[in-house]
Structure 1
Amino acid sequence: MQTAIITGGAGGMGLATARILGRDHAVVIADVSQDRLDSAVEELRSEGIDATAVVCDITSRDSVDALIATGNATGELRAVVHAAGVSPLMGDASMIARINAIGTVNVVEAALEVAGEGFAVVNVASIAGHMTPKALQPARTFRLALTDFDAFAERLDRRVNRGPRKMRSGQAYSTSKSFVIWYSRAMAAAFGAKRARIVSVSPGSFDTAMGRLEEASGSGKLLDYAALKRFGRPEEVAEVLAFCASDGPGYLTGTDILVDGGTKAGLTLKGMIAMARG
């Protein structure tokens, strides 16, 4: 049986994606909390899904390698949906950059080592990654991720810790998610050489624990600009994540898909400035 790994799979978008992929895959869900994993696996198994739990710290390459090894041991590993991440209110700038950006590099590089024909990686980015103009993104820092991991980590940390302290976590989130979009595109050729794919998906405001945590500081305000004036449901973005990870879109790679209820379509420069000012 084919296997799919879902990081951040114990709740929210990750668990919803595991339910869909679990229809025709064995699923390995990863999280930092054993209790959350135990509860999620119990739910999935009660629905007839072959589910395995792995405690994984995505900021540790050794931990990620162990996760990939478990996926391979469970069956033919065919997809990785990387949904693990943190939002601005969940930590300081350094923590956010480390989990969202460094963690993504660890997951993608480990996946590339085992990728073969038909393999797919789907990284969860964010509409926040589209909020910073490209001219203001640290492109030179991003490029270091392809050649010098340690220098990338050090320079990224310095970058996100600039400016007023109260704004750093939000800036770190936007920068780290911009990186996820950039990196997914930059790694497409490496995966293509193995006849594999990599894409990113950028959710807008969703009704998850993380989304509601950020409601007052950003995710709720985005609805003012959205075409659909509501929070998205986890199942709605999970359908996109699972589709991207499936065999169906075999020519889809090196791009980002916005699932934001039409928010970016209605967000003008004036609106972006207003959002930034809070």
Structure 2
Amino acid sequence: MKNIIVIIGIGGMGIAIARRIGRGNRLVLADFDNMKLHAAARELINAGYEVEAVVLDIINRKSVEDLAETASQLGEIHAVIHTAGLSPTMSDAQRILDVNLIGTGRIIETFQKHMKAGSVGIIIASMAGHMSTRYDNILEKQQWSAAADELKIFVDSLEIKQSAEAYSISKKANILQVQAAAVNWAEKGARILSISPGIISNPMVGVEKRKQSAKNYTLENATVKRMVTPEDIAAAVEFLQSSQASFITGTDLLIDGGVTSFTKNLQLNSH
């Protein structure tokens, strides 16, 4: 029986990952956008991949549970790769926190029950999580004990209003969620880790760059003077979900071309 690869979010990154590791396995694609989801599924099926498409509302517990149950009934889940999320320009602070943070918590909690020895979960975070320092202590303490529903109550109490702040905090939390979950996943013989991409080349990047001019300056001056491509992330996922990475869990891989280092050095030198 073929292994099941669950890919949540079928943007450029999700499709690149599907193409990279999907051949010879059975793909389960999940996304909120029904039309976009089934268009992506047809494209992959026409290219020779075996694909199931599942509409998912990541904030809804039942929807996440239905996805996990569907995937597990098809066979043994080898990998769950969670790429779905909202950027600061895509929604308001509350929606960003609900999708990026609470939704990710639901994915981690729910799929843990279906993991087998050798399975892996990969959560796409962001370099923004490495730059956020606000709420560090209370956020870190909360991650180690909170279920998704409890975490929502905690996050709502912070009354975060700015989308950019909500985004950076949610991505910092994703990194901490993975660290916190690694012990429980290990009880199943499974691994879980996160990847923090830098500025990704995708259709939304033009909007992001226009609204955040600092990104242009960073790209022009950071160590590797280009954006991250979906294929860069797919290559990392291919390694991390393989047996060659069997000793890697509970950690984050920063793939930003040196942007974080450049930004931190810039901040230090400006004081």
Q: What is the rounded CA distance, in whole Å, between the counterparts of 2:135 and 2:38 in structure 1?
A: 39
User: 2:99 is matched with which residue?
Assistant: 99
User: 1:185 is matched with which residue?
Assistant: 179
Structure 2 matches for 1:111-150, cutoff 5 A? 111-133=111-133, 136-145=134-143, 146-150=145-149
User: 1:169 is matched with which residue?
Assistant: 163
Structure 2 residue matching 1:227: 3-state secondary structure: coil
Q: Could you say if the C-alpha distance between residues 235 and 149 of structure 1 is closer, same or farther in structure 2, counting changes exceeding 3 Å?
A: closer
Pair 1:213-2:207 in alignment = yes
User: 1:158 is matched with which residue?
Assistant: 157
Structure 2 residue matching 1:117: 3-state secondary structure: coil
Q: Could you say if the C-alpha distance between residues 248 and 42 of structure 1 is closer, same or farther in structure 2, counting changes exceeding 3 Å?
A: same
Q: What is the rounded CA distance, in whole Å, between the counterparts of 1:41 and 1:92 in structure 2?
A: 29
Q: CA deviation at 1:11?
A: 1.9
Q: CA deviation at 1:270?
A: 3.9
Q: CA deviation at 1:47?
A: 1.4
Q: Could you say if the C-alpha distance between residues 272 and 107 of structure 1 is closer, same or farther in structure 2, counting changes exceeding 3 Å?
A: farther
Q: Could you say if the C-alpha distance between residues 160 and 88 of structure 1 is closer, same or farther in structure 2, counting changes exceeding 3 Å?
A: farther
Q: Unaligned regions of 5+ residues in structure 1, if any?
A: none
Pair 1:262-2:243 in alignment = no
Q: CA deviation at 1:269?
A: 5.2
Q: What is the rounded CA distance, in whole Å, between the counterparts of 1:182 and 1:63 in structure 2?
A: 24
Q: CA deviation at 1:12?
A: 1.1
Q: What's the RMSD between the two structures over aligned residues?
A: 2.0
- How far does the alpha carbon of each residue in 1:117-172 deviate from its partner, in whole angstroms, 9 at most, with x for none? 00100000000000123xx33432454343354342122123252xxx5xx10000
Fraction of identical pairs, as percent: 35
Q: CA deviation at 1:211?
A: 3.3
* Aligned residue type for 2:243: D
Q: Unaligned regions of 5+ residues in structure 2, if any?
A: none
Q: CA deviation at 1:272?
A: 8.6
Equivalent of 2:237, from 233, 237, 241?
Answer: 241
Alignment length (residue pairs): 266
TM-score normalized by the length of structure 1: 0.89
Greater displacement, 116-125 / 137-146: 137-146
TM-score normalized by the length of structure 2: 0.91
- Do the aligned partners of 1:97 and 1:160 also contact (CA within 8 Å) in 2? no
Q: CA deviation at 1:109?
A: 0.5
Q: CA deviation at 1:195?
A: 1.1
| Shift >6 Å, 4+ stretches | none
